[in-house]
Amino acid sequence: MKRQVDLLDISDGKLYESNDMVRADCFGCEGCSKCCTGMGESIVLDPFDVFNLTAGTGKTFEQLLESEIEMNVVDGITLPNICMKSGKCGFLKGGRCEAHQFRPGICRMFPLGRYYNEEGFKYFLQVHECPVNNKGKIKVKKWIGYPDINGYEAYIRCWHEFMIDLQDNLADLSEDNVRVLNLLVVKTFYQTPYGDEFFEKFYDRMKKIKEMLGL
Ligand code: SF4
Ligand code: SF4
């Protein structure tokens, strides 16, 4: 997503890669759930997040939409995000994340964020968001916790590039066609189940939709 934020205002001024050490370790959060409350529509979900949430909860995308997630428009594209309408995430129970094993990528990274550039993206440490002082040093990839970090990062780059291409193309479309395109993206990448294996089907769908849209 395109965002105009001065990185120096919100970070320690450094950019990190997955093998770098970073002071992000909150030591199990110790009763804090700040980043699970009042986050508005900011925890946007990519298709892998929804795949993990449906697999972890046993709910369909539509069932998750009944309470835990919602749809909103981000830079012209309709995308799901974690629902905070009651002031907190629906997965937060007794101060703990019930979805911890299958939580979304943004939750995994926090207090890290992604900074996208021409080559892809790097991570940055948000210094004003997490109240834990003296955080521990930890390797970025260990903090994120996906076993295949290279595969995951390649997927994130692919999805981000697709989002940027879509945003660029939406500008030339009528309102009706924007709606049709958004429905197509949601159906292709979020609504249609992936079965047990996500990445192969994701890339297959990406290839087909790009051919269809001439991207
Ligand atoms: S704000 Fe920091 S300490 Fe609090 S729940 Fe989030 S990551 Fe953990
Ligand atoms: S999914 Fe878990 S970590 Fe993410 S906002 Fe909800 S309770 Fe917090």
The string of pLDDT tens digits covering residues 128-149 is 999 999 999 999 999 999 999 9
Cβ–ligand 1 contact at 213 (below 6 Å): no
Beta-strand ranges (E) seen in 66-143 are 69-74, 77-82, 92-93, 96-97, 112-117, 120-125, 136-139
The pLDDT tens digits of the residues spanning 22-52 come to 999 999 998 899 999 999 999 999 999 999 9
Nearest atom in ligand 2 to 92's CA: 7
User: From the CB of 170, is ligand 2 less than 6 Å away?
Assistant: no
* pLDDT above 60 for 167: yes
pLDDT digit string, tens, across residues 145-162:
999 999 999 999 999 999
**49 three-state secondary structure:** helix
- Measured from the CB, is residue 91 less than 6 Å from ligand 2? yes
Pocket of ligand 2 contains residue 53 by CB under 6 Å: no
Task: Give 40 Cα–ligand 1 centroid separation in angstroms.
Answer: 16
Query: Is the pLDDT confidence value at 1 over 50?
Result: no
Phi/psi of residue 40, nearest 5 degrees = 60, -130
pLDDT in tens, 45-72: 999 999 999 999 999 999 999 999 999 9
How much distance in Å is there from the Cα of 31 to the middle of ligand 1? 9
Alpha-carbon distance values, 161 to 5, 20, 119 (Å):
19, 24, 11
Give the residue from 132, 133, 115 showing the smallest Cα distance to 124: 115
**Percent over 70 (pLDDT), the chain:** 98
Of 23, 25, 34, the one to substitute when testing ligand 1's pocket (max ligand atoms within 8 A of C-beta) is 34
Q: Where do runs of H (alpha helix) occur along 85-148?
A: 105-109, 140-144
CB 149 within 8 A of CB 17: no
50 touches ligand 2 (CB under 6 Å): no
**Ligand nearest, relative to CA of residue 103:** 2
Alpha helices in the chain (DSSP H): 7-10, 47-57, 61-65, 105-109, 140-144, 149-170, 175-186, 199-213
Amino acid 10: pLDDT: 92
Residue nearest to atom 2 of ligand 2 (CA): 97
> What does the mean pLDDT of the chain come to?
95
